[in-house]
Amino acid sequence: TDVNGNTSTCSGTVTVNDNVNPCCEIPVITCPSNIVVSNDNGVCGAMVTFAASATGTSPVITYSQNPGTLFPIGTTTVTATATNDCGTDICTFTVTVNDTENPVITCLATANITTDVGMCTSTASIGTATGTDSCGTPVITFSPAAPYGLGSTTVTWTATDANGNIATCTQVVTVTDGENPIITCPADVSTCSSTPALGTPVTSD
């Protein structure tokens, strides 16, 4: 129809073909139960295998993440899809990977330090422990903290990873007194006595 009301017509044919096998069955898929595993040794995740099953006429099953691949720490939802010429069916399940591996920590064996000037304790550096983890750098802490008294003190170092796993090692801190005492002599004595009074020196340490 144009703007002035004139019209023209034509016709066409739409043909719908039935190409579906009358014996075809719509797929019905069944997912595995939710999966919980620990991370693989030295890896921040786990290689996880699984398989869904499906009924129907020759269904093809696909996954949003394929089995046998690396799943990260945490929970991943997997969608499984079964498809054939008759239709599609889906189901979902979860794969949870827990970090159960402790970090690795290395301590210095010993620390030999001397007392601070004017003190019977030491705040000198004792070095630091080092730590590694498959899921990042762990937090390093130690106890007890300085100052350290004379003799030997056992210091415990702790590495804590992002998922709360810990590892410890110990270090012996030995403090020695390297500072001489202070002595002040009394004043000089000038006398003809054979038993002069010499006074008493003053000492401190």
Handedness of CA 195, 196, 197, 199 (dihedral sign): negative
Q: What is the pLDDT of residues 90-122, one digit of tens each?
A: 999 999 999 999 999 999 999 999 999 999 999
Rounded Cα–Cα distance for residues 106 and 158 (Å): 10
Rounded Cα–Cα distance for residues 170 and 23 (Å): 73
Look at residue 8 in the predicted model and tell me its pLDDT.
Answer: 95
Look at residue 202 in the predicted model and tell me its pLDDT.
Answer: 84
Asked if residue 196 has pLDDT above 90, the reply is: no
Please tell me which residue, 180 or 72, carries the higher pLDDT value: 72
Look at residue 19 in the predicted model and tell me its pLDDT.
Answer: 66
Helices (H), 16-113: none
Rounded Cα–Cα distance for residues 39 and 88 (Å): 33
- pTM, two decimal places: 0.74
Rounded Cα–Cα distance for residues 111 and 87 (Å): 72
DSSP 103: P
